[in-house]
């Protein structure tokens, strides 16, 4: 191992200053991600790469020494995907920050270290828009988004990360550099390898550059906020809306998350509501009005206690910000086990009711926020980490929520990835044949299992 560290340090002169870190204090910030896994390991080195060539050089060394590599973007993974493994080399992409926007092809070519918000801003400077918008868009990297196939709030109308990835440069486990796709809207030459790497969570290769499709700038949205006295009414209204309409946002908060956000923001949310929906339309003004009137009528039919509508984008953004604030607001109440289960929309009501039943049976608080229009919920299990018995009940509930989703024909993860925390449930969802196919692909691309071991597989 010390041989590897010496060889990594010998690479340092070919890299930007201070690229290789081996001091435990300076490496500490690279051990954990936002899943806060207490079993996080200690790396032997962190390399802050600046180019594809840097990545290739580090991978070749690690491959020769058969040392694990954990690729890290901004470390906001909620499933433990960027948690360090013991004795690994962490490749941090934080310094890979070049971006070029090409308005002619309506694409951008970007390195992985930029934050999602920075990619959006670069596109906006040309009157263009990169839609995928995880709630963490100001703190997560675009490389992490590619590697987890991140979703977000506007995905109900505009799709998820993979729908915008046209090409990439990827460094394989043996150091080979592969160029896939490019700034072409249509391209079916060969297998869909670009798509294979999207969502592969750093287990098949390291993405060092990516070509993203951009759209014309979004029209300023109109916003409707509705509160409900029962969860069933709120989820019933969601099912009714998605049958015939495509709002540009359809988000859900339950009472526990409304109250946590209200505690933090004091913005005047109705603490007594069982559920709140935040819905947007970005159609041209007259169509937006018609769409939101139809949605308002559905909310009333499902006994909404209050329906509020604004075409002032800033006023609307305050409610969207409230929804985005749910995770940090609940983190103030204790430690979180964060779920990401999704179901076909007609099963949304059964999922939300089932989660409430698990919360009652296990005696643990579970707040729910959801990208409701996608059937993708985030049950947030809140617990006191110093109470061993409560930790056990929270962990039991964590498994039961995933089993519930699988039983309803759903998924254990809609957007955060399997990471380390959910892999025990993956075979139950995929079945043995699909699981084996996953293993064969991993084996073909990373026969020594050095890329993010312990994640997914
Ligand atoms: C408050 C909060 C809200 C969130 N909301 C959302 C949301 O709405 N939607 C959503 O999808 N997620 C959400 N997330 C989760 C998280 O932000 C996403 O999973 C994000 O895509 C991770 O990006 P990152 O740069 O932090 O990646 P990291 O945590 O650094 O890494 C995530 C995974 O990607 C791999 N990886 C990173 N970069 C590369 C690369 N260049 N090549 C290969 N593999 C790589 C890592 O090895 C790891 O497996 C939220 C997180 C927080 C804290």
| Confidence (pLDDT) at 203 | 98
Question: How many Å separate Cα 131 from the centre of its chain?
Answer: 14
Q: What is the count of structural domains for the chain?
A: 3
Q: Ligand 1 within 6 A of 412 CB?
A: no
> Based on the domain organization, do 84 and 228 belong to the same domain?
no
Same domain, 398 and 299: yes
Q: Which atom of ligand 1 is nearest to the CA of 161?
A: 11
The CA 125 to ligand 1 mean position distance, Å, reads 25
Query: Sign (positive/negative) of CA torsion 81, 83, 87, 89?
Result: positive
Name 226's bridge partners: 277, 307
Q: With a 6 A CB cut-off, is 209 part of the ligand 1 pocket?
A: no
The answer on 239 and 331 residing in a single domain is yes
> Which CATH number belongs to the domain containing residue 264 in this structure?
3.40.462.10
How many angstroms separate the Cα of 338 from the Cα of each of 167, 193, 205? 31, 30, 26
Whether 300 and 335 map to the same domain: the answer is yes
Domain end, chosen from 216, 237, 264, is at 216
Q: Which domain range does residue 188 map to?
A: 99-216
Instruction: Name the pLDDT band for 3 (thresholds 50, 70, 90).
Output: confident
Say yes or no: 199 and 234 in one domain: no
376 against 1, higher pLDDT: 376
Of the CA atoms within 13 Å of residue 221, those in its CB half-sphere come to 23
Percent with pLDDT over 90 in the chain: 98
Helix (H, G, I), strand (E, B) or coil at 191: coil
CA distances from 258 to 134, 262, 272, 330 (A): 19, 6, 9, 10
| pLDDT tens digit sequence for 269-287 | 999 999 999 999 999 999 9
> What pLDDT is attached to residue 1?
60
Residue 314, beta-bridge partner list: none
Q: How many helices (H) and strands (E) does the chain have?
A: 16, 18
Residues 230 and 212 in one domain: no
Ligand 1 centre to CA of 148 (Å) is: 6
**What's residue 12's pLDDT?**
86
Ligand 1 pocket residue status of 156, Cβ below 6 Å: no
Q: How far apart are the first and last CA of the chain?
A: 25
* Helix, strand, coil distribution of the chain in percent, nearest 5: 40, 20, 40
Establish whether residue 80 lines the binding site of ligand 1, counting it when its CB lies within 6 angstroms of any ligand atom: no
What is the CATH number for 37?
3.30.43.10
> Per the structure block, which two tokens stand in for 323?
């929804």
Q: For the CA atoms of 421, 94, 86, 88, what is the dihedral angle to 10 degrees?
A: 120
Q: What would the pLDDT profile of 310-324 be if each residue is shown by its tens digit?
A: 999 999 999 999 999
Query: Which atom, in ligand 1's list, is nearest to the CA of 208?
Result: 41
> Which residue from 457, 372, 456 is spatially nearest to 199, judged by alpha carbons?
456
Domain assignment present for 456: no
Dihedral pair phi/psi, residue 278, rounded to 5°: -115, 120
Token output for 157: 């109308």
Q: Whose CA is nearest to atom 18 of ligand 1?
A: 77
> Residue 191 has which token pair?
């297998």
Residue 172 lies in a domain: yes
């Amino acid at each position: 191992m010390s041989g590897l560290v010496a060889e990594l340090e010998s690479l340092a002169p070919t890299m930007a200053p201070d690229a290789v870190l081996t001091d435990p204090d300076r490496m500490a910030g690279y051990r954990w991600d936002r899943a806060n896994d207490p079993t996080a390991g200690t790396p032997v080195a962190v390399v802050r790469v600046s180019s594809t060539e840097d990545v290739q050089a580090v991978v070749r060394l690690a491959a020769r020494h058969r040392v694990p590599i954990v690729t890290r973007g901004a470390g906001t993974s909620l499933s433990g995907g960027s948690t360090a493994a013991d004795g690994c080399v962490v490749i941090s992409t934080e310094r890979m920050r070049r971006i070029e926007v090409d308005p002619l092809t309506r694409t951008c070519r970007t390195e992985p270290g930029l934050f999602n918000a920075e990619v959006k801003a670069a596109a906006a400077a040309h009157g263009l828009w990169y839609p995928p918008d995880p709630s963490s868009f100001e703190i997560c990297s675009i490389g992490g988004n590619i590697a987890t196939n991140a979703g977000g709030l506007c995905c109900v109308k505009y799709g998820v990360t993979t729908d915008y990835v046209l090409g990439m440069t990827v460094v394989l486990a043996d150091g080979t550099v592969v160029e896939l796709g490019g700034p072409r809207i249509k391209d079916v030459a060969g297998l869909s390898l670009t798509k294979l790497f999207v969502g592969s969570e750093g287990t098949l290769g390291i993405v060092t550059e990516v070509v993203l499709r951009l759209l014309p700038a979004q029209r300023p949205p109109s916003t409707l906020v509705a509160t409900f006295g029962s969860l069933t009414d709120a989820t019933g209204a969601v099912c009714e809306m998605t049958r015939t309409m495509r709002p540009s946002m359809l988000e859900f908060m339950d009472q526990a998350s409304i109250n946590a956000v209200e505690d933090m923001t004091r913005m005047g949310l109705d603490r007594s509501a069982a559920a709140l929906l935040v819905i947007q339309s970005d159609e041209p003004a007259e169509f937006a009005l018609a769409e939101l009137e139809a949605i308002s009528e559905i909310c009333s039919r499902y006994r909404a206690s209050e329906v509020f509508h604004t075409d002032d984008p800033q006023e609307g953004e305050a409610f969207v910000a409230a929804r985005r604030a749910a995770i940090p607001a609940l983190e103030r109440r204790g430690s979180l086990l964060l779920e990401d289960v999704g179901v076909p929309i007609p099963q949304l009501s059964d999922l939300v009711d089932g989660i409430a039943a698990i919360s009652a049976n296990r005696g643990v608080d579970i707040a729910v926020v959801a990208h409701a229009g996608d059937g993708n919920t985030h049950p947030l299990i809140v617990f006191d980490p110093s109470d061993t018995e409560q930790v056990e009940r929270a962990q039991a509930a964590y498994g039961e929520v995933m089993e519930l989703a699988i039983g309803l024909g759903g998924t254990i993860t809609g957007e955060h990835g399997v990471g380390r925390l959910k892999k025990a449930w993956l075979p139950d969802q995929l079945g043995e044949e699909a699981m084996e196919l996953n293993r064969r692909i991993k084996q073909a691309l990373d026969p020594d299992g050095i890329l993010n071991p312990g994640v997914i597989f």
